[in-house]
Structure 1
């Protein structure tokens, strides 16, 4: 089973750590909101856990930059960095930390109803090889976000 899977026929992206086939993040249900914004669903699945956001919207106005650009930057720095790097929008947070042995630990946090009484957060971590796997993930995320 591959670490990440992207199919143009079935536009979804699945990200999992090597050897952890039952724990994954899935991006799916991509839709173009308008010429400047796209939306997609995100699902986090692990042993006994399933959390899903029906709509995460990403626009050209997001001051935090494009998610694919963020992942490209991690792939370019395959030799490592200090501390954590974070990409965020109102519903999804991706935090990256470089680890010994040339791996990147990606913590995916899904957030629902930040200011509501029924708000929740769910975090799931995947670990990828800093070079080739990060480059492949960045390319697949770019293909997923910029389809259509």
Structure 2
């Protein structure tokens, strides 16, 4: 029997995004197809299961690009999930601000949660990118 312990990575210190894997038992290739994404800000707690088909390469590229350009960049860097239920937009003004939007389209009451979290450039950003890479490239969560 496989270990079904949850694995997760958290990004941000003034507001948080948590990415959690619950299980890959239903996926014979053991690739990670879905994550539970939880957004936490004062007065906001929202969670949504988000799907991907290619091992989360877009999300990894988003955070890798932020970490690689930790000294700053022009404009915005964005990531959107394939179903449009998770969108991240990053800006740099000495600190990195990541605006998030989580959406639930299905069910009797569709909802949307949005906000912004802060992350320090440099070591905190590098650690966030590495934590996500470790989480999403593991073959046995």
Query: Normalising by the residue count of structure 2, what TM-score does the alignment of the two structures yield?
Result: 0.78
Cα displacement (A) at 1:34: 4.9
Structure 2 stretches lacking a partner, 5+ long: none
Q: Secondary structure at the match of 1:31?
A: coil
Say if 2:11 is the partner of 1:15: yes
In the TM superposition, what whole-angstrom CA distance separates every residue of 1:41-63 from its partner, at most 9, and x where no partner exists?
Answer: 1111222222111x21122187x
Choose from 102, 105, 121 the match for 1:130.
121
Q: For residue 38 of structure 1, what is the aligned residue in structure 2?
A: 33
Structure 1 stretches lacking a partner, 5+ long: 1-8
Q: For residue 50 of structure 1, what is the aligned residue in structure 2?
A: 45
2 CA distance for matches of 1:30 and 1:57? 13
Q: Does the CA-based 8 Å contact 1:31-1:38 persist in structure 2? A: no
Choose from 16, 21, 25 the match for 1:29.
21
Cα displacement (A) at 1:75: 1.0
Say if 2:42 is the partner of 1:60: no
Query: Normalising by the residue count of structure 1, what TM-score does the alignment of the two structures yield?
Result: 0.75
Task: State the Cα RMSD in Å.
Answer: 2.3
2 CA distance for matches of 1:34 and 1:75? 32
* Greater length-normalized contact order (CA 8 Å, ≥ 6 residues apart): 2
Say if 2:80 is the partner of 1:88: yes
2 CA distance for matches of 1:61 and 1:141? 12
2 CA distance for matches of 1:72 and 1:47? 27
1 CA distance for matches of 2:55 and 2:40? 30
Q: Does the CA-based 8 Å contact 2:63-2:129 persist in structure 1? A: yes
In the TM superposition, what whole-angstrom CA distance separates every residue of 1:90-136 from its partner, at most 9, and x where no partner exists?
Answer: 2211110011x3x211112111107x773221113211122221111
